[in-house]
Chains A and B, each alone.
Chain A
Amino acid sequence: MHIVVCIKQVPDSAQIRVHPVTNTIMRQGVPTIINPYDLFALEEALRLRDQLGGEVTVLTMGPPMAEDSLRKALTFGADRAVLLTDRFFAGSDTLATSFALAQAIRRIGETWGEPRIVFTGKQTIDGDTAQVGPGIARRLGLSQLTYVAAIDEVDPAAGTMTLRRRAEGGVQELTTRLPVLITMLEGTNEMRRGKVADALRAARAEIVTWSAAKAGITDVAMCGLRGSPTVVKRVFAPAARAERAVLVETQDRSPGEIAEALIAGIGTRLPALHDDLLRAAAGY
């Protein structure tokens, strides 16, 4: 069974800094990582392959340096890596991104066999939209299954799958037919340690690199900024509040005395809350 996993190389968000004067993002020297949510999708794909046979192809769209993330995915045991990179993709919003990735997945299918499952992470840590997975599903006509917590059974011969997905206020147990797009919930599995053999293979592996044209994208007006219905009009730092917090004096005070001062401060500002808390504690 052929499985495609879409991943994204993202800046390690813990390391992003904003320039204090210009309010622009300081990208220099920020290390990049595979979007952490994508690792759950990749691990699930590798498990299914180990269980059922077949191949896992990892796909990413990004600048040439996104090759690093693909190579990393190969060290975990993915069989093949495809990098979709072209200046036409610059400035893509989620709709344009899903268009390009869907086209690349079609081309992957023509080249190495139709994927029965396409995986993505539940969202990225840099965009946080959770829109690209559903976008790919829609464009390829795949059954869309987001926030999947567990894949219980896959029967490639019958083309069926049962799974559990997070829903509002509960868990849905579903049955569906392949092909599907799954966005994997975090914490559902643990990424394996790659084998030494895979690490050696990954170091030498050829990363399949496709331009828009090579991926079979004939209409570049659907890509990048031009293919994006959303327009970012303004980027800005949030305005500071007019006044800073009123600080409670700590000099020569014990923690107990500071606590009393804080409770008094809360009482002054929210007298009703204070009374309600007392009533709640008294069991009213």
Chain B
Amino acid sequence: MSGTARPASGRAGMKKELPEHFRAYRHVWVFVEVEHGAVHPVSLELLGEGRKLADKLGAELAGVVLGGEERGLRDAVTAAWEHGADLVYLGTDPVLDQYRNEPYTRAMTQLVNTYKPEILLLGATVLGRDLAGAIATTLLTGLTADCTELAIDDERSLAATRPTFGGSLLCTIHTLNFRPQMATVRPRVMAMPRPEPGRVGRLVPFRPELREEDIVTKVLRYLPDRDSDKAQLAYADVVVAGGMGLRSAENLQLVRNLAAVLRGEWGGSRPLVQKGWMTADRQIGQTGKTIRPRLYIAAGISGAIQHRVGVEGADLILAINTDPKAPIFDFAHLGVVADAVELLPALTEAFGRRLAVNRLAG
């Protein structure tokens, strides 16, 4: 068939009216990611954001917890309640013990088709991205990745804003005619809500229809990463990062030295990964890690939008750059027009001296 098959109506996605069968879809869901017993912090951040959306809609906020058996999931349920969930759907089956795409996708689509949420949020983690794409395709609905802002517009529609064109612009995306409206958000992009200890909600147990013999992928082993070299970047209190202003891979050591004195983490901007100066897990920015430290020191980083969206949550941004017109000075709080390669050792020494004095005094 060719162009003659084209229906006369306009673009399906642009129609104003939500189809009848989707009008029953109500409430906001957050997929609560549990790995080996621990709740991923991004899920709690999303509950905080989901709470705001639910309040705006006059709807309920639900957490969805999946896993092998109820016993190991009680903490996750409690955490969901204490971080704002009105209820928790708890889906258990031995097949869900370790994450695999197929059974998790099946369980989630069964749950969505049964209880019909209007919004479904997931963390943009390795697991969340693997799962979100499969759920959205199965349900044939819209999914917006790596959102930096979520809001409800006047027509109860989710306005999901994300960087586009390599992070140089932002765009706001809607899923007008399909439900649920799905979005993923990276860790640390949303603020962690303050938990309310002792807050409890409802528990809705769910038995997904799953059989191990239907799942062709089997987990042979799980090898946890060594903690030693895993960058704790996203959740560090102090982060020092370098950019092309360092001029060489060797000068990245100056960044590491300062981070070490400050008991913080170190990282760099995207070009350093592209140049092969450091690994991708140290990259700070939209396509790398989003950080929310109390202090962020950007050394020789120009501050392209894609970097900016990854660091804006910092309490205090200190920028060092030789170019007074560098965009980093537009969003840093404190700045100095200087060569990072010269200033970093001086800063390391000055901080080191103060902290050493204190050690003697203490």
A173 touching B40 by the CB < 8 A rule?
Answer: no
Which among B134, B140, B295 is the interface contact of A270 at CB below 8 angstroms? B295
Q: Assess whether A173 is in contact with B217, with CB atoms less than 8 Å apart.
A: no
A33-71 to B contact mask, C-beta < 8 Å, 1/0 = 000000000000000000000000000000000000000
**Looking at chain B, what size class is its interface with the partner chain?**
35 or more
Q: Which residues of B are found within 8 Å of A137, using beta-carbon distances? A: 134
Contact A233/B217 with A172-B222, A258-B338, A277-B263 known, Cβ cut-off 8 Å:
no
Are B347 and A262 in contact (CB-based, < 8 A)? yes
Is B225 close to A, CB under 8 A? yes
Least CB separation from A134: chain B residue: B133
Note all chain B residues with C-beta closer than 8 A to A170.
Answer: 222-225
Q: In the bound complex, do residue B171 and residue A232 qualify as a contact, i.e. CB atoms below 8 Å apart? A: yes
Say if the beta carbon of B211 comes within 8 Å of chain A: no
What separation, in Å, do the CA atoms of A128 and B287 have in the docked complex?
7
B126 contacts A262, C-beta separation under 8 Å: no
Looking at B24-32, B61-69, B111-119, B353-361, the stretch in contact with chain A turns out to be B353-361
Report the bound CA distance from A254 to B318 in whole Å: 18
A208 within 8 A of B: no
Interchain CA distance A133-B216 in the complex, whole Å? 19
A221–B130 alpha-carbon span in the complex (Å):
27
Is the pair A245, B329 in contact by a Cβ cutoff of 8 Å? yes
Option from B3, B99, B105, B286 in Cβ contact (under 8 Å) with A167:
B99
- Distance in angstroms between the alpha carbons of A256 and B35 in the assembled complex: 46
A158 is an interface residue with CB less than 8 A from chain B: no
Per-position 1/0 for B152-174, Cβ under 8 A of A: 00000001000011101111111
Q: Does B217 contact A218, Cβ atoms closer than 8 Å? A: no
**Which A residues, 223 to 253, have Cβ-Cβ distances below 8 Å to chain B?**
225-238, 240-241, 244-248, 250
| Contact of B52 with A by CB under 8 A | no
Stretch of A76-84, A108-116, A144-152, A195-203 lying at the B interface: A144-152
The reply to whether the CB of A269 lies closer than 8 angstroms to some CB of chain B is yes
A125 interface hit (Cβ, 8 Å): yes
Known pairs A174-B217, A174-B218, A281-B263; A169 contacts B5 (CB<8 A): no
* Any A CB within 8 A of the CB of B331: yes
A130 in contact with B145 given A167-B222, A168-B35, A229-B175 (CB within 8 Å): yes
Complex Cα–Cα for A246 and B336 (A): 8
State whether B219 touches A172 (Cβ < 8 A): yes
Closest to B148 in A: A238
Contacts of A229 in B (CB 8 A): 13, 140-142, 175-178
Is A171 at the interface (CB under 8 A from chain B)? yes
Chain A, residue nearest B217 (CB): A176
Tell me, rounded to whole Å, the shortest Cβ–Cβ distance linking B114 to chain A: 20
Interchain CA distance A151-B51 in the complex, whole Å: 42
Count CB-based A-B contacts (< 8 Å). Answer: 308
B221-232 vs A: 1/0 string, CB under 8 Å? 111110000000
User: Does residue A282 face the partner (Cβ distance < 8 Å to B)?
Assistant: yes
The answer to whether A240 touches B166, judged by C-beta atoms less than 8 angstroms apart, is no
Residue numbers in B under 8 Å from A145 (CB-CB): 101, 217
Whether A189 sits at the interface, judged by CB under 8 Å, is no
Dominant secondary structure at the A interface: mixed
CB distance from B258 to the nearest CB of A (A): 10
Closest Cβ–Cβ distance, residue A280 to chain B (whole Å): 5
Tell yes or no: B238 within 8 A of A by CB.
yes
B351 interface residue, CB < 8 Å from A? yes
**Given A213-B1, A230-B142, A250-B338: A175 touches B217 (CB 8 Å cut-off):** yes
Q: Are A138 and B137 in contact (CB under 8 A)?
A: yes
Known contacts A128-B287, A134-B130, A144-B101: does B166 contact A235 (CB below 8 Å)?
A: no
Residues of B within 8 A of A167 (CB): 35, 99, 126-127, 222
A247 and B174 contacting across the interface, CB-CB below 8 Å: no
**Interface flag for A126 (CB, 8 Å):** yes
Q: Are A94 and B362 in touch, CB under 8 angstroms?
A: no
Give A234 Cβ to nearest chain B Cβ, in Å: 4
In Å, the complex CA distance between A131 and B2 comes to 27
**CB closest residue in chain A, given B179:** A229
Indicate if the CB atoms of A233 and B159 lie closer than 8 Å.
yes
Q: Which residues of A contact B319 (CB under 8 A)?
A: 245
| Least Cβ–Cβ distance between B275 and chain A, in angstroms | 11
Return 19 A-B CB contacts under 8 Å, by A number: A131-B129, A134-B132, A168-B99, A169-B36, A172-B99, A173-B220, A173-B222, A174-B220, A175-B220, A245-B329, A245-B334, A246-B334, A255-B346, A258-B346, A263-B347, A270-B316, A279-B362, A282-B355, A283-B362
16 further interface pairs, Cβ-Cβ under 8 Å (given A94-B133, A168-B33, A221-B7): A13-B166, A129-B145, A138-B137, A139-B137, A171-B225, A172-B98, A173-B220, A176-B216, A177-B217, A220-B3, A229-B177, A236-B169, A248-B336, A250-B338, A269-B333, A276-B237
- The residues of B with any CB-CB pair to A shorter than 8 Å are 1-3, 5-7, 11-14, 33, 35-36, 40, 98-102, 105, 125-127, 129-130, 132-134, 136-138, 140-146, 159, 164-166, 168-178, 216-225, 237-238, 262-263, 271, 274, 279-280, 286-287, 294-295, 305, 308-309, 315-319, 324, 328-338, 342-343, 345-347, 349-351, 354-356, 358-359, 361-362
Q: Closest 7 interchain pairs by CB?
A: A134-B133, A281-B355, A245-B335, A229-B142, A255-B346, A282-B362, A13-B166
